[in-house]
Amino acid sequence: MKSKYTTIIDIAKQLNISKSTVSRALTGHPNVKEHTRKAVLELASTMEYQRNSLALGFSKHTTHTIGIMVPEFMSTYFPSVIVGVQDVMQAAGYNVVICQQNESYETEVDNMKLLLSYRVDGIIVSHTKETRNFDHFALAQRRGVPLVFFNRVPEELNVPNVIVNDYEAAFQAVEHLISIGRKRIAHLAGPDALVNSRLRRQGYLDALKKHGIPYNPDLVLSYDLTIEKVKIYMKHFLDLGTPPDALFAINDPTAIAAMEVVKAKGLRIPQDIAIVGFSNDLSAGLVYPGLTTVAQPTGEIGRMAAEMLLQELNAKVKNDYTIKKAPTTQLPTKLIIRESTVAKTK
Amino acid sequence: MKSKYTTIIDIAKQLNISKSTVSRALTGHPNVKEHTRKAVLELASTMEYQRNSLALGFSKHTTHTIGIMVPEFMSTYFPSVIVGVQDVMQAAGYNVVICQQNESYETEVDNMKLLLSYRVDGIIVSHTKETRNFDHFALAQRRGVPLVFFNRVPEELNVPNVIVNDYEAAFQAVEHLISIGRKRIAHLAGPDALVNSRLRRQGYLDALKKHGIPYNPDLVLSYDLTIEKVKIYMKHFLDLGTPPDALFAINDPTAIAAMEVVKAKGLRIPQDIAIVGFSNDLSAGLVYPGLTTVAQPTGEIGRMAAEMLLQELNAKVKNDYTIKKAPTTQLPTKLIIRESTVAKTK
DNA sequence: CAAAATATTGGGACCGTTCCCATGAAAAAT
DNA sequence: ATTTTTCATGGGAACGGTCCCAATATTTTG
């Protein structure tokens, strides 16, 4: 079963020279006669020669390809981070392959194995909401494959990462709700296993404390981020004896699902209940009323993660994060105020 | 520079057996003594052996990996197609790598080269809106790498594809606008180079004709799908002596951008102008008012494309589409009526 | 013009795996 | 007990490149 691909040996035979010379001509090695190089390049072009990256990566132990693993991409958050990553990596001459885990731990492990088995030079990761075991990441580190995390960063691992200040952003978001006079602020939180979920909740709690609003456990629910559940929890909140007058949601999809429940009940946003989300998904600006939310610099997060990965890749001596503290980059967020908290005056 | 990865030779040495036997044990070849197999598997596990797919693909000329190339993924359309593809391919034991072209022809060519140089077994494609030259796809075909197109299918190439009936769907959408009494129906069309853009426009034209509405060229504009332009064109429409009372937009992002212009001008949707989009992006259900649009079965499109690719991959004798007509699968669409054409009665 | 330096080319090892073929060992058949 | 068959293993080529070293060709130098 001969492959249909042209090889350097085919070219060498045709020109009656050695494959070494062909290789040199194609890779731009200086010691090739101009005449020879020209002949090789021409024939390569007419024969539609296409270098075999498998053979190359196999023999050179480096592939000039990086992987990026994201938990999902139905919101605009991860796609726009990926675009940022691609910008930087392509400019640096790297290929980027994308893996999507569907929020499944098993898929994540499989995809990690896939990327390692293809010997990618490095990986940019945001783990799934299910991930509790981080061995597959530790394995990559042991293999000398640098990782950079973003958004969801495991505490169990000392890895370079780029994040936003979730605590501070949540604090501000809740303070904003307080500033518009809300006192019964509910919080739909994410699973405790996610660090940013915990940080956002802490920001919520501390903002309440600062403004002397007692913490009411009835108004806080952690959930697994499966959107269908939002309906249940939100109905529960609205059915309380004294329902909340505001909601701080862990992310925009949650906030938007909650808005639907509120509207279906005939309540007004923001008059009856003000709502704040997190991340500034494209949808946040489209829903009615517009959703107040914490904007994250997604493109910049991707670019920054890529830069950090390049640093790792270019380090003459590999950083050993079993002994050295891994670097963190923290990027700024911005509270975007829309009509879900402040009704338009007109 | 020794690699940190364990190889079968390392295992063979430790156990004092040949690498052939190790290979057989690991791949599940029947002719290995149970005792030996167990020893190999155990050691492989403790040494964290990870097969080298580069070496494997290199030596076997097949990688059990397929590529998927999409023009962008900021709308929900392509991500959800991808999820469908992954479903089917993973179940069939294939790996899926995703490439995103940012609607750039150059990136598309680069990514095609990348996938070919990694010797993927097949590719599922939707090309960019810029793509006019299809040589890079023809090259893959010549290499014996099967392609399946979806959504945007080049006419220049005879390739398996999965599509929806764009003509019929557009026809229905426009008929719907006529049925609610609209007579001056504008159309924001895509570039003529895209087949589905032409088909949707033809559906528009024929629906008008069927209902005896004369075609008014002033109400049709083709554009390059860069959203900023929508503002200009929409303003132009609204500034006409007798502005349109409805808009049929080539896709949902276009429709949504148009809605913003309309709202900014203080006009009411649908009373002053009714709007229909195409594809039923997630956003379509979120905007205010809800956008009437043509739903495409995105997940099913992905699953179908994957099934068709599997057929190509499993064909004992490769299909030669230079002599044989390539198969097409057409999936049904559904018009989703929301408040952008029919105001809620309440 | 011979010797030395340099430019160009060829030869072959190497990367990790599979797979075919040969060999040896054990089991079955005579 | 001897021959045949089957089972288990080892040996080595092949895959497509790169790269080091050796060999040859060309140019420069004294």
CATH at residue B264: 3.40.50.2300
Verify that B239 and B213 share a domain, yes or no.
yes
Q: Is the pLDDT of residue B2 over 70?
A: no
Measured between alpha carbons, how far is A251 from A140 in angstroms, rounded to an integer?
30
Tell which residue, A241, A243, A246, A268, has the closest CA to residue A181. Answer: A246
- DSSP code for B274: E
B107: enclosing H helix or E strand: helix B105-117
Q: What is the mean pLDDT of residues A237-241?
A: 96
Mean pLDDT over each residue of chain B, to the nearest integer:
95
Cβ neighbors of A64 (< 8 A, separation 6 or more) are A57, A93, A94, A95, A121
- Do the domain assignments include residue B286? yes
Nearest to B50 among A116, A256, A283 (CB): A116
Q: Alpha carbon of A45 to those of A31, A32, A54: distances in Å?
A: 21, 18, 20
Verify that A137 and A197 share a domain, yes or no.
no
For B271-307, the pLDDT digits (tens) are 999 999 999 999 999 999 999 999 999 999 999 999 9
Domain boundary among B253, B271, B296: B296
Note whether B260 and B275 are within 8 A (CB). no
A336: enclosing H helix or E strand: strand A334-336
Verify that A218 and A256 share a domain, yes or no.
yes
A277: enclosing H helix or E strand: strand A274-279
Q: Which residues pair with A279 in a beta bridge?
A: A295
Confidence band for A184, pLDDT divided at 50, 70 and 90: very high
- The backbone region for A222, taken as left when phi is positive above 0, alpha when psi lies in -120 to 50, beta otherwise, is beta
For A19-38, the pLDDT digits (tens) are 999 999 999 999 899 999 99
Q: What is the mean pLDDT of residues A49-71?
A: 93
The string of DSSP letters for B19-44 reads: HHHHHHHHHT-SSS-HHHHHHHHHHH
Q: Do the Cβ atoms of B52 and A119 come within 8 Å?
A: yes
Tally of domains in chain B: 3
CATH code for position B25: 1.10.260.40
A260: enclosing H helix or E strand: helix A252-264
Tell which residue, A117, A106, A112, A129, has the closest CA to residue A69. Answer: A112
Q: Is the pLDDT of residue A97 over 80?
A: yes
pLDDT at B1: 41
Cα end-to-end distance, chain B, whole Å: 74
Mean pLDDT over each residue of chain A, to the nearest integer:
95
Q: Do the Cβ atoms of A76 and B80 come within 8 Å?
A: no
- Do the domain assignments include residue B344? no
Q: Do the Cβ atoms of A144 and B4 come within 8 Å?
A: yes
Q: Is the pLDDT of residue A254 over 70?
A: yes
Question: C10 C1' – A13 CA distance, angstroms?
Answer: 13
**Per-residue tokens: A126:** 């945001």
Q: Do the Cβ atoms of A55 and B50 come within 8 Å?
A: no
Cβ neighbors of A317 (< 8 A, separation 6 or more) are none
Confidence band for A318, pLDDT divided at 50, 70 and 90: confident
Confidence band for A186, pLDDT divided at 50, 70 and 90: very high
- Do the domain assignments include residue A241? yes
- Do the domain assignments include residue B336? no
Q: Is the pLDDT of residue B87 over 60?
A: yes
Verify that A273 and A215 share a domain, yes or no.
yes
> How many other C-beta atoms are found inside a 10 Å radius of the C-beta of residue B52?
22
Verify that B189 and B211 share a domain, yes or no.
yes
**Per-residue tokens: A62:** 């480096």
pLDDT at B259: 97
Q: Are strands A334-336 and A292-295 parallel, antiparallel or unpaired?
A: antiparallel
Cβ neighbors of A87 (< 8 A, separation 6 or more) are A299, A302, A303, A306
Verify that A114 and A69 share a domain, yes or no.
yes
Which chain B residue has its CA at the smallest distance from A55's CA? Answer: B58
Confidence band for A1, pLDDT divided at 50, 70 and 90: very low
Q: What is the mean pLDDT of residues B218-230?
A: 96
Question: D9 C1' – B97 CA distance, angstroms?
Answer: 38
Q: Is the pLDDT of residue A3 over 80?
A: no
- Do the domain assignments include residue B72? yes
Question: Is the bond leading into A297 cis (omega within 30 degrees of zero)?
Answer: no
Tell which residue, A123, A119, A19, has the closest CA to residue A61. Answer: A119
Range of the domain at B325: 60-164+298-331
Question: C1 C1' – A344 CA distance, angstroms?
Answer: 98
- Do the domain assignments include residue A342? no
Range with lowest mean pLDDT among A316-325, A332-341, B24-33, B79-88: A316-325
- Do the domain assignments include residue A336? no
Nucleotides of C under 7 A from a protein CB: 7-12, 14-20
Verify that A183 and A304 share a domain, yes or no.
no
Q: Which residues of A touch B268 (CB under 8 A)?
A: none
Q: What is the mean pLDDT of residues B104-120?
A: 93
Q: Is the pLDDT of residue B196 over 60?
A: yes
Q: Which residues of A touch B50 (CB under 8 A)?
A: 113, 116-117, 143
Confidence band for A269, pLDDT divided at 50, 70 and 90: very high
Confidence band for B77, pLDDT divided at 50, 70 and 90: very high
Q: Is the pLDDT of residue B343 over 90?
A: no
pLDDT at B322: 87
Measured between alpha carbons, how far is B88 from B83 in angstroms, rounded to an integer?
9
- Do the domain assignments include residue B260? yes
Verify that B292 and B305 share a domain, yes or no.
no
Verify that B69 and B13 share a domain, yes or no.
no
pLDDT at B346: 52
Verify that B199 and B219 share a domain, yes or no.
yes
pLDDT at B83: 95
Q: Which residues pair with A294 in a beta bridge?
A: A278, A335
Confidence band for A343, pLDDT divided at 50, 70 and 90: confident
Tell which residue, A204, A144, A212, has the closest CA to residue A168. Answer: A204
Verify that A292 and A175 share a domain, yes or no.
yes
Verify that A246 and A175 share a domain, yes or no.
yes
pLDDT at A2: 56
